[in-house]
A and B are shown apart, each in its own frame.
Chain A
Amino acid sequence: MSAMVNEKTVTCIICPAGCRIRVSMQGGEIASIKGNLCKRGENYAKDEVTHPTRVLTTTVRLEDGRLLPVKTARPIPKALLFDAVKELSNVVVKVPVKIGQVVYSNVAGTGVDVVATRSWK
């Protein structure tokens, strides 16, 4: 029985080389990783293909109408970025806010906190 062979290309962002790394997938498993100049690229490509994550940065409203820049305290799955933004569009935060303060918990069910990236008086 032959499983589907599927190739994905990932551009590495670990260093300025920007290797175009080709990852072959066979039946949901990584079959080969090619085109990377170093080991770090291999790990990056593996993560990108199996469970890509990103730190989300966006804004939420303060109760007085101003905007508060925020970020997820840790990277969240890339596939949940839009859900997270949507959820955060309903969040209203009380003033004053301190940088690093948690303004929302468990965004998009990820278990990750959303924190303020500036203080507002």
Chain B
Amino acid sequence: MPVCIALYYLMPGRAAKNIFLFLASLVFYAWGEPVYVVLMIVSVFANYMFATLLGREADHTSDRAVHKPTKKARLYLILDLVFNLGVLGFFKYEGFLAQNLNALLGTELIPDLALPLPVGISFYTLQAVSYVIDVYRGEVEAQRNPLFLGMYIACFPQLVAGPIVRYSTIQEQIVNRKETMAGFCDGLRLFSVGLAKKVLLANVVAILATELLSMQGSELGLIGVWGGLLAYTFQIYFDFAGYSDMAIGLGRMFGFTYLRNFNYPYISRSATEFWRRWHISLGSFFRDYVYIPLGGNRVSTPRWLLNIAIVWLLTGIWHGAAWTFVLWGAYYGLLLIAEKTLLLKLLKRLPAFVQHIYALLTIMVGWLIFASIDIGQLGTLFAALVGAYGLTGTSSFAALGVWQYLPVFALCACASMPVIPWIRFKLVAWAEHREVKGGDFIEHDLPAPKMLSTERLCIFDMSKVSDVKRRRVLEVVALLADICLIVLFMCATISVISGSFNPFIYFRF
């Protein structure tokens, strides 16, 4: 990484920097996927070709203000979708399809090729699809330089685990971004936070989650399954959010400003709110490219329900080729329909903490489906979840090991709430002699659902503080916070070099 950043800044001019970033991304990808890098290059040039053809069609449209794609444009779009979804489907779902179809027919109709899934294919395919659809819709212009497009599709910071960056978000930045020392350091701060989330929190609870959730419910009992589930709940959040923070931070170091991908999802009061805060880039992709084109909620009730069902089945299967993921998608589809039609109204009448408990329970049940190895194991885990196998199943309390992780759980619980931003918010308000009301922080500061900008992450905004003494206090606090970040970064580095348990949970994405 240091070599890559140093060489990037040595590159003269924007074009050279972009091309270098593309090549560096290919090297990064090839480091982990030496063979499938060819697939990535093919994907870049195929999408470049289709988008260019779509762009030419758009140029031929007489009235660009009322964008109406031509038949040819529609054909190009269909061909591009067939290509992208075909590649994704072949590598990701061939085995799943073969196993199920062959089992259903009782004969080997399709061979199970057992292909290893190219890392990040689900993410970069969605990025490419969103770009081509946006060109088709006339919302963005086709990129004329294939290497620049390659940089967008293959850009290494977000390649492996997202966020799914829309072309429209960085279209301008491709040629007009400006790298600054302040932006670079903000990126470093965010990267450090992300690395700490991944290495110091996610990887630690992952040890317990991996061990317990690979067992049957009868071995775990109530304590074992809840302990494993809690560990997994924290693992998947800190792993995913950690990668996103690192990606956004690295992007910032290269001058890009991405949007937020996670916004404290575990403070939600409903599953609906959870999905506004969890993997935001994926939710908005399915909303803008599937749900709304299907008619969204401006259709008859049965059609609306069908639209939701389609979106959630696709969301489920996107996460992995297994029935548990299909079930997970169906679970959220049903839950969101129930919330939108009835539950949300009821929930709003209940105290806030009850809503939080409801949300956390529904989210955790979702993760149980998500984390299960297969439907059979899921059944036993559910039974254990409601106490069918007693407190500890066939294991002893000591052997389950949940007790070892209680301090880590407490730390994770604090870290999954906006505690630090709240302290910062209070401090800045105090320094500005500004009174704050109860809901100001949640509604207008970082945890606000519409706060998608990443500009204010890891920043102590003192621009409105005029009281010199209080400003000094803020500066000292900010300095201490930076020292804490440096220590966290060093601890995370130590953990990495010590070869600690480091699971890669996106191998099925």
Question: Do the two shown chains form a genuine complex with each other?
Answer: no
A residues contacting B by CB (< 8 A) are none
Which B residues are closer than 8 A to A by beta carbons? Answer: none
